[in-house]
Amino acid sequence: MSTAYAKCYDPTGVRHGIPTFPWRMAPDGLATRRQLRAQGLRPGGQHVVAQVLRYTRHGHPRVAYLYRVAAAKPVRPMTSRKWGALALAMLARQTCPACGLTYSYCIPRSLGICILCAHPNTPAAPEELTP
């Protein structure tokens, strides 16, 4: 086992506090939140069972927490009220507070207003040059 894997391999949890495995070497029956979501599951209130650890090129650790697949619960289905709330939230993100126009994209948070309101002197499209 290489040195990088040796720093990440702690199946008893003595060094890191919980069982730790190198990247892509987690035992069967454990999954991350994203892996559970891809299977249509959620952690369902269970605590973290183990972690997967990987060190980057710069020596910083990347951690992914693992949950038991057997104890996971199915994802709650979206209700009509949740869909409605999501639609209203997206509408608010797409509406400019300055001019009130609704766009097909989300307003940049860095500007807080639409691009046309933020840069009024910039032409929307380059004009064709006529001789």
Task: Name the phi and psi angles at 14, rounded to 5.
Answer: -70, -45
pTM over 0.85: no
Sign of CA dihedral 119, 120, 126, 131: negative
**pLDDT 10s digits, 103-131:** 999 999 999 999 899 998 877 655 554 55
Whole-number mean pLDDT of the chain?
Answer: 88
**Domain limits, the chain:** 3-74, 80-118
- Report the candidate in 114, 6, 16 with the shortest Cα–Cα distance to residue 66: 16
Higher-confidence position of 1 and 17: 17
Residue 57: pLDDT band with limits 50, 70, 90: confident
- In this predicted structure, the answer to whether residue 3 has a pLDDT above a threshold of 70 is no
Residue 61: pLDDT band with limits 50, 70, 90: confident
Task: Name the phi and psi angles at 23, rounded to 5.
Answer: -55, 135
Alpha helix ranges (H) inside 44-113: 80-94
